[in-house]
Structure formats: C-alpha cells, structure tokens
C-alpha cells in the first residue's frame, strides 16, 4: 500500500475511534483544586541608598540607577549586614510599569557572603494607581549553613522608608511552600 493509502486508513480509524473514546474523557473523575502555596517569613532587610543616578530616556524607557550603600538584615537564624557596592537598576517603560533589578551582596554575622538578585515589576492598575511591589529574589549562598537559601521559590515585598533621614527600602523575603 502506498503512503497516501496508509494516511487515508489512519485518518479513518482515528475518525471512528474519537467518538467512542469521548465518553472516557467525560467520565474521568475531577481532581480537587490544589491548595495554593503558603509563604514562610525568611528575613527582612533595611537597605540604605545613595542618591539616584538618572540615566535618562533609553529605547526601553526611562532608566535610573540607585547605589546600595549598606544596611542590615535579620530573620530566624539569619542576620548580618548589607554590603555596600550593589545597585538597583530601575526602568519605567512607556506604559508606566516600574521595573527594578537589584544586584548586591549581604554578609551574615558569622562571615558568609550571599549574593542577592531581586527583580520585580509593578504596573498601573485600572484605577491608575500601582499595587504593592512584589519581587522574585534569587539567592546564591555558599555551601554549608546557608545552603537552604539556594533552592525554592521566594517572594519579596519592597517598601520605601528613611534611615537617619536618608533614603532606604525595607525588603521582606518569604519562601513559598506547599502543605
């Protein structure tokens, strides 16, 4: 039998089998809705910032960079300082969405250095206001005591604040888990 004949027979078999199998799909038991992930508090940072460095309009939008000058962090079993020298690369695009991409280091009180990359975006909602700024942080910790930070899904919240009258942000990190 030639190739065309095989294709015609295959299509005929498939066409006849579909109505017969449709009752299997209709009778399949519905699985319960999965429980949404829960969040567990990990730690809070209070990050001090230098003055903005406006870059200006770029093809991607209005760019601004904010130097990270220091700060502290604390949480259950984890505390230390924010190391100076990091940056928050900010962008406001044409639709008014605010993007941040912060890249910096933190150092625990026992000397471990952890790399933090924290990204997020918030856009104007239908009322023209902006919702809370949520982020998706990624941590790179050395093997050992803080290795648990290297895996999983994290969510961050960012709020503006002042420390000693200077600009700062409070960032709270939470780890997602399922029960």
pLDDT tens across the length of the chain (179 residues): 555 554 445 444 444 545 555 555 556 677 888 889 999 999 999 999 999 999 999 999 999 999 999 999 999 989 999 999 999 999 999 989 999 999 999 999 999 999 999 999 999 887 777 788 999 999 999 999 999 999 999 999 999 999 999 999 999 999 999 98
For residue 13, tell me if it sits in a domain: no
Would residue 119 count as lying in a domain? Answer: yes
Is residue 42 a part of any domain in this protein? Answer: yes
Q: How many domains does the chain have?
A: 1
Query: Residue 64 sits in which domain range?
Result: 38-177
Q: Say if 24 falls within a structural domain.
A: no
DSSP-based three-state secondary structure for 143: coil
Dig out the tokens for 7 from the structure.
């294709």
Domain membership of residue 102 (yes or no) is yes
Torsion of CA 51, 56, 58, 63, to 10 degrees: 20
16 in a domain, yes or no?
Answer: no
Secondary structure E strands in 22-132: 38-49, 53-58, 61-75, 78-82, 86-92, 98-108, 113-122
Q: Is residue 71 part of a domain?
A: yes
CA-nearest of 93, 100, 90, 88 to 59 is 93
pLDDT at 26: 58
- The answer to whether residue 138 is domain-embedded is yes
* Domain containing residue 89: CATH number: 2.40.160.20
pTM of the model: 0.79
Q: Do 118 and 105 contact (CB within 8 A), yes or no?
A: no
């Amino acid at each position: 039998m030639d190739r065309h004949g095989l294709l015609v027979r295959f299509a005929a078999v498939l066409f006849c089998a579909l109505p017969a199998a449709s009752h299997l799909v209709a009778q399949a038991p519905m699985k319960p809705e999965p429980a949404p992930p829960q969040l567990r508090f990990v730690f809070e940072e209070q990050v001090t910032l230098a003055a903005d460095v406006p870059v200006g309009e770029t093809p991607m939008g209005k760019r601004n960079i904010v130097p990270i000058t220091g700060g502290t962090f604390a949480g259950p079993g984890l505390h230390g300082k924010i190391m100076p020298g990091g940056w928050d690369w900010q962008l406001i695009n044409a639709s008014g969405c605010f993007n941040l991409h912060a890249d910096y280091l933190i150092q625990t009180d026992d000397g471990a250095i952890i790399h933090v990359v924290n990204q997020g975006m918030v856009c104007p909602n239908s009322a023209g206001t902006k919702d809370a700024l949520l982020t998706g942080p990624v941590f790179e910790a050395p093997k050992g005591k803080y290795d648990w930070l290297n895996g999983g899904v994290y969510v961050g919240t960012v709020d503006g604040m002042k420390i000693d009258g200077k600009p700062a942000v409070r960032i709270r990190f939470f780890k997602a888990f399922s029960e």
